[in-house]
Amino acid sequence: MVVGMTMETFLQQLINGLSLGSLYALIAIGYTMVYGILRLINFAHGDIFMMAAYFTYFGIAVFFLPWYVTFIITIGLTMLLGVTIERVAYRPLRDAPKTSLLISAIGVSFLLENVANYLFSGKPMAFPEFPLLTTPFFIGGLSIQPVSIVIPIVAFFLMTALLFVINKTKIGMAMRAVAVDYDTAKLMGIKINGVISSTFAIGSGLAAVGAILWCMKYPSVLPLMGVVPGLKCFIAAVIGGIGNVKGAVLGGLILGFSEVLMVAFFPALTGYRDAIAFVILIVILLFLPNGLLGKKQVEKV
């Protein structure tokens, strides 16, 4: 054990890492599902997350809706946003060169950031507090925010539900089929557009839940808040093996733990906190380019 670190602080950091990692996992799933089906890095995903945070902020702090109504509206609106983005910006380019699709994704991301900056101003807004969830309680010297426990539990339930949908339902089977072979799936009569739309809806919905939980833990909303979490969660998806939902969860947790523990063990590196994800990305690409759980992809001519 490193000098100056007691068992309590270590446990404390583990809990922090678990909740941060669960948040990353929730967002990473959106990346990995879209990549699995369209082979596209959905650059706008981080900004969809940001918009969800604004929806929640407006629901609670501006329109004074009860929290459960706000959450339902936020999740609904975010899903709609994700599906609309796919419909307007990605679907017309489905047969275009991949570069165009990628530029379109960046364009959407840039547009959302600028629109948010224009409409809501670049100033950070204070997210309403939930005292019930943020007042820490104490167990044997540990001070724990309830939200740090709630996040992993919510994330766990959602991921179980998602795995059920993917593995046991008809739409999940269609998703897996499209991910394996787009053209054959089409020939087999799978309605590609519906599958892609539902992929975007699920990914965006999870990002919305992620945004709500994120803001409870880090209560500040601003137009560029989605960029760094977005990049990191894509990296989380790469760590686990892009296209693999379980891999995204694993990658998110690894990233969350390594970030929190690095800062805890080496306080001198606090300034470089955001850099660790990219170091991990480079190492993974060098030694395990298919990620921890990914299958080797062979390019077919």
Partner 1 sequence: MKELQNSLGAYLKLHWKTAVFLVVLLLGIGLADQFVDSYMRRILNLCAIYVIVSLAMNLVNGFTGQFSLGQAGFMAIGAYTVAVFTVPIESRAAIFYLEPMAPFLANIQLPFIVALILGGLVTAVVAFFIGYPCLRLRGDYLAIATLGFSEIIRIVFTNTQSITNGALGIKSIPTISSLWWTFGIALIIIIATVLLINSTYGRAFKSIREDEIAAEAMGVGLFKTKMTSFLIGAFFTGIGGGLFAALLGTVDPKQFYFTLTYNFLLIIVLGGMGSISGTVIASFVVTLGQEALRFLDEPMAFGLDLPIFRPGLRMVVFSFLLMVIVLFYRKGLMGTNELTWDFMAEKYRALKKRLGGKKTATEGGAKK
Least distance (Å) from partner 1 to the CB of residue 110?
4
What DSSP character marks residue 269? G
From candidates 207, 213, 235, 263, binder to partner 1 by CB under 8 A = 235
Pairing of strands 142-144, 125-126: unpaired
Distance between CA atoms of residues 113 and 43, nearest Å? 11
Q: Please say which residue, 14 or 292, places its beta carbon nearer to partner 1.
A: 292
110 is a site residue for partner 1 (CB under 8 A): yes
Query: E strands, 41-196, where?
Result: 125-126, 137-139, 142-144
Which residues inside 250-289 make contact with partner 1, applying CB under 8 A? 271-272, 274-275, 277-278, 281-282, 285-286, 289
From candidates 96, 148, 177, 258, binder to partner 1 by CB under 8 A = 96
From candidates 7, 62, 72, 115, binder to partner 1 by CB under 8 A = 115
Q: Please say which residue, 170 or 296, places its beta carbon nearer to partner 1.
A: 296
Distance between CA atoms of residues 206 and 44, nearest Å? 14
x/- map, 17-56, partner 1, by CB under 8 A: ------------------------x---------------
Q: Please say which residue, 171 or 285, places its beta carbon nearer to partner 1.
A: 285
Specify the stretch interacting with partner 1 by CB under 8 A; choose among 161-169, 188-196, 203-211, 229-237. 229-237
Instruction: Count Cβ neighbours within 10 Å for each residue of 209-224 and write b for 16 or more, e otherwise.
Output: bbbbbbbbbebebbbe
Q: Which helix (H) or strand (E) holds 58?
A: none
118 is a site residue for partner 1 (CB under 8 A): yes
Q: Total residues contacting partner 1 (rule CB under 8 A)? A: 42
From candidates 1, 2, 139, 301, binder to partner 1 by CB under 8 A = 301
Distance between CA atoms of residues 13 and 66, nearest Å? 32
Instruction: Count Cβ neighbours within 10 Å for each residue of 198-207 and write b for 16 or more, e otherwise.
Output: bbbbbbbbbb
From candidates 38, 60, 79, 108, binder to partner 1 by CB under 8 A = 108
Nearest partner of 51 among 22, 33, 75, judged by Cα: 75
Distance between CA atoms of residues 34 and 100, nearest Å? 16
What DSSP character marks residue 86? I
From candidates 12, 74, 78, 104, binder to partner 1 by CB under 8 A = 104
Do 122 and 222 meet the contact criterion of CB atoms below 8 Å apart?
Answer: yes
Task: Give the torsion sign (CA, 225, 227, 229, 233).
Answer: positive
- Tell me the residue length of the chain: 301
Least distance (Å) from partner 1 to the CB of residue 115?
6
Q: Please say which residue, 54 or 71, places its beta carbon nearer to partner 1.
A: 54
Specify the stretch interacting with partner 1 by CB under 8 A; choose among 10-18, 100-108, 162-170, 243-251. 100-108
Do 239 and 291 meet the contact criterion of CB atoms below 8 Å apart?
Answer: yes
Nearest partner of 56 among 67, 47, 44, judged by Cα: 67
From candidates 4, 68, 99, 267, binder to partner 1 by CB under 8 A = 99
Least distance (Å) from partner 1 to the CB of residue 75?
26
CA of residue 160 relative to chain centroid, distance: 16
- The binding site for partner 1 (CB under 8 A) comprises 41, 89, 92-93, 96, 98-100, 102-104, 106-108, 110-111, 113-115, 117-118, 121-122, 227-228, 231, 234-235, 238, 271-272, 274-275, 277-278, 281-282, 285-286, 289, 299, 301
